[in-house]
Structure 1
Amino acid sequence: MHKNRWLLLPVLLIVLFGLNLSLGSVRIPFREIITILIGSESSQSIWNDIVWNFRMTKALTCVLAGGALALSGLQMQTLFRNALAGPDVLGLSSGASLAVSLIFMSQAAGLRFLSTPSPWTVAIAATLGCSGVFLIMLAISKKLLDNVSLLIVGLMIGAGTSSIVSVLQYISRAEEMQTYLIWTFGSLGGLNWTELMVLAIVLLIGAIVAIRLVKPLNAWMLGDNYARSIGVNIKRSRFWIIFSASILTGGVTAFCGPIAFVGLAVPHLVKFLVQTTNHKVLIPTVMIGGAVLMLFCDILSQLPGSTQMLPINAITALIGAPVVIWVIVRHSRIRI
């Protein structure tokens, strides 16, 4: 029976996707959602516009972002063999945050990049920030032989970029700091179809790379020496694992902002459900699990029955933090 528990994930994905489309400030009956999805006109024409132009893009963003962050977290936990490693351990999210802070709070640094940055400008800035940190980590990884040192360097880069952001916040004006803070809360509802397509392409590339890394990922579970003994090229596989995790994390951060805890929590929940360490099974199930969790968090953030919305990061942290505590208690000896 436990071998078929993974079937719960696709069922939950379909149910939560439908709920996500039906819930919101304007409640649309579920049967009307089905009518709209099959291409028919609903009883109120405005419902068609709401579903296709607002809720569908948001729900698909949840699926893409959740799957990408969960897969990135799985790869980082496997590479570093650390239960508390997540997508941000390489400092990628911090690099994106620094680049975006320079856009929003540039006047505080005596610069003036743009008076009213567009969403594309913010996305490009976040991408450049992630790419910059990725290149730095790539150069450092060639000098370091062990992954623990690489993990520590990534955490220090994240701490350094965060300190610069803190200085900019301290000397910036209140309205500039508020705009940046809103971005750090994360957002899943701001993408149009063009931006969603770009995000999907970027994340598809990262997922394809990860799927081709099944053998190295399984080998990394048992350590560097075992990976070498079965013919895995350590440097090359580490490069592609970091590349895949970077493009997945960077793409989501660029379009949705830094979303915490999903990549850290989902791999543990899925492993507990499917009871396997084979990445051939874990990669698809973790991606579905990430989509499920993100849809669930988005539903909670909408405060069903209310017109108010909570920041998505507040909900993911509320769910992810107990998972981290559970992981620490369950693994009394965690390698750091």
Structure 2
Amino acid sequence: MKVNERGWDSSSRAVLLMVFSLAALFIFFMLDLILGSVNIPFQDTLAILLGNKMVNDSWQIIIMDMRLPKAFAAAFGGAALAVAGLLMQTLFRNPLAGPFTLGISSGASLGVAIVILLVGGGTATTIPQMLAGLGSFGSAAVAIAAFAGSSAVLMIVLFISRKVESSVTILILGLMFGYAATSLVTILVHFSDPEKVKAFTEWTYGSFDIRCAEVSILVPIISIALISSFLLIKPLNALLLGEKYAESMGMNFKTTRHYLIIITALLAGTVTAFCGPIAFLGVAVPHLCRGLFLTADHRILVPGCIILGGSLALFSDLVAHLPGSNLTLPLSAVTSMLGAPVIIWVVLRGNKLGGMQA
């Protein structure tokens, strides 16, 4: 019996897919805790999470101080980048737009480059060693610098958005700001010591390996931004039919655009500040959601991006840490390997699923 495409069958399929996606998110979260250079049995991992005292104290340190913060950072970071990418693709009606389209990542990179390449000293080859001379401020210097850089770009984009009507113009100017910031980073790298360049390069690879104190800042900020994105679902659906249609429905387009830019900057800037620039998740996951749920309705896409973004980030982190090995791959290399085929698939399908149509 054929059921109406927009009726019960479509709704139940979306619910079923959400349940399976949540199950995948939980599985990848647990695997990220269990697997690594030291594999810890599931029952012992669960016992540690429940607060039971373990005979092996090192396992408790590994889970609670290292892997649990990393898993939370991956889950929330992936969700943030995915939703930020969805917002930008809808706002600019461009299937290749992403969370860093407005130059947010480049601004953050410039801030970090200034701290590491100009402030950091000595012959150390890691970021913590580079910043040791800054005392207690050193541990937070990279995150603060990234926030400052991304915020500076955001302020410029917001100022221009008040003067410019066309979203395409804002998109182009955002890209130009990104190129300008990248050129300054390149100049700093060119005149810096090899040790400092190595430390900065390691930051650009991206990593979810952050500490509990940093997670306690990252999670609330991202949670607030994600909740705010739910409040914009109705305007986002209106934008699918164009700016003029959205305005005819009573939407203040400029105000909505400001909110979208601010939420995107908050999501992308926070992740970049604590985890570094992470490629492709923000561009690929929205397309995965559209292809999986077969819809452009943001009532489904926003929660779908949160779940799939977190799942893919956890899976990427799992692959990057090569369970059973002491080796670690650059996180952005892994996310690019996973994300590039999605974009290729979208292009070959003629944007059938990657388009912004309702």
The TM-score range, normalised by the shorter chain, is: over 0.9
Give the Cα separation in 2 of the matches to 1:230 and 1:292: 36
- Determine the structure 2 residue equivalent to 1:9: 21
Give the Cα separation in 2 of the matches to 1:95 and 1:294: 23
CA contact (8 A) 1:95 1:133 kept: yes
Tell which deviates more after alignment, 34-43 or 198-207: 34-43
Asked if residue 74 in structure 1 is aligned to residue 104 in structure 2, the reply is no
With over 3 angstroms needed to count, the CA separation of the structure-2 counterparts of 1:177 and 1:320, relative to structure 1, is same
CA contact (8 A) 2:131 2:139 kept: no
Matching residue within 136, 144, 151 for 1:124 = 144
- Determine the structure 2 residue equivalent to 1:140: 160
Give the Cα separation in 1 of the matches to 2:314 and 2:277: 16
Asked if residue 188 in structure 1 is aligned to residue 188 in structure 2, the reply is no
- Determine the structure 1 residue equivalent to 2:288: 269
TM-score relative to the length of structure 1: 0.94
Matching residue within 170, 181, 184 for 1:161 = 181
- Determine the structure 1 residue equivalent to 2:68: 56
4+ long deviations beyond 6 Å: none
Give the Cα separation in 2 of the matches to 1:115 and 1:194: 18
Give the Cα separation in 2 of the matches to 1:240 and 1:270: 23
Letter of the structure 2 residue corresponding to residue 326 of structure 1: W
1:170 deviation in Å?
1.1
With over 3 angstroms needed to count, the CA separation of the structure-2 counterparts of 1:208 and 1:11, relative to structure 1, is same
1:116 deviation in Å?
3.9
1:331 deviation in Å?
2.4
CA contact (8 A) 1:78 1:220 kept: yes
Give the Cα separation in 1 of the matches to 2:292 and 2:44: 34
Give the Cα separation in 2 of the matches to 1:136 and 1:33: 47
Deviation string 1:86-122 (CA, Å, 9 cap, x unpaired) is 00100000000011111111279xxxx9774523111
CA contact (8 A) 1:32 1:43 kept: no
Paired residue secondary structure (2:277):
coil
Paired residue secondary structure (1:183):
helix
Letter of the structure 2 residue corresponding to residue 80 of structure 1: F
Give the Cα separation in 1 of the matches to 2:293 and 2:139: 39
Paired residue secondary structure (2:98):
coil
Tell which deviates more after alignment, 324-333 or 54-63: 324-333
1:6 deviation in Å?
2.6
Give the Cα separation in 2 of the matches to 1:254 and 1:308: 24
Give the CA RMSD over aligned residues: 2.0
- Determine the structure 2 residue equivalent to 1:29: 41
- Determine the structure 2 residue equivalent to 1:287: 306
Give the Cα separation in 1 of the matches to 2:351 and 2:228: 33
Give the Cα separation in 1 of the matches to 2:265 and 2:132: 29
Letter of the structure 1 residue corresponding to residue 213 of structure 2: T
1:178 deviation in Å?
0.7
1:2 deviation in Å?
3.6
- Determine the structure 2 residue equivalent to 1:323: 342
CA contact (8 A) 1:302 1:310 kept: yes
1:305 deviation in Å?
1.8
Asked if residue 91 in structure 1 is aligned to residue 103 in structure 2, the reply is yes
Give the Cα separation in 1 of the matches to 2:132 and 2:35: 36
Letter of the structure 2 residue corresponding to residue 28 of structure 1: I
- Determine the structure 1 residue equivalent to 2:228: 209
Number of residue pairs matched? Answer: 331
Letter of the structure 2 residue corresponding to residue 309 of structure 1: T
Paired residue secondary structure (2:163):
coil
Asked if residue 243 in structure 1 is aligned to residue 257 in structure 2, the reply is no
With over 3 angstroms needed to count, the CA separation of the structure-2 counterparts of 1:29 and 1:94, relative to structure 1, is same
Residue ranges of structure 1 left out of the alignment (5+ in a row): none
1:288 deviation in Å?
0.8
Matching residue within 219, 222, 241 for 1:222 = 241
TM-score relative to the length of structure 2: 0.88
CA contact (8 A) 2:79 2:307 kept: yes
- Determine the structure 2 residue equivalent to 1:150: 170
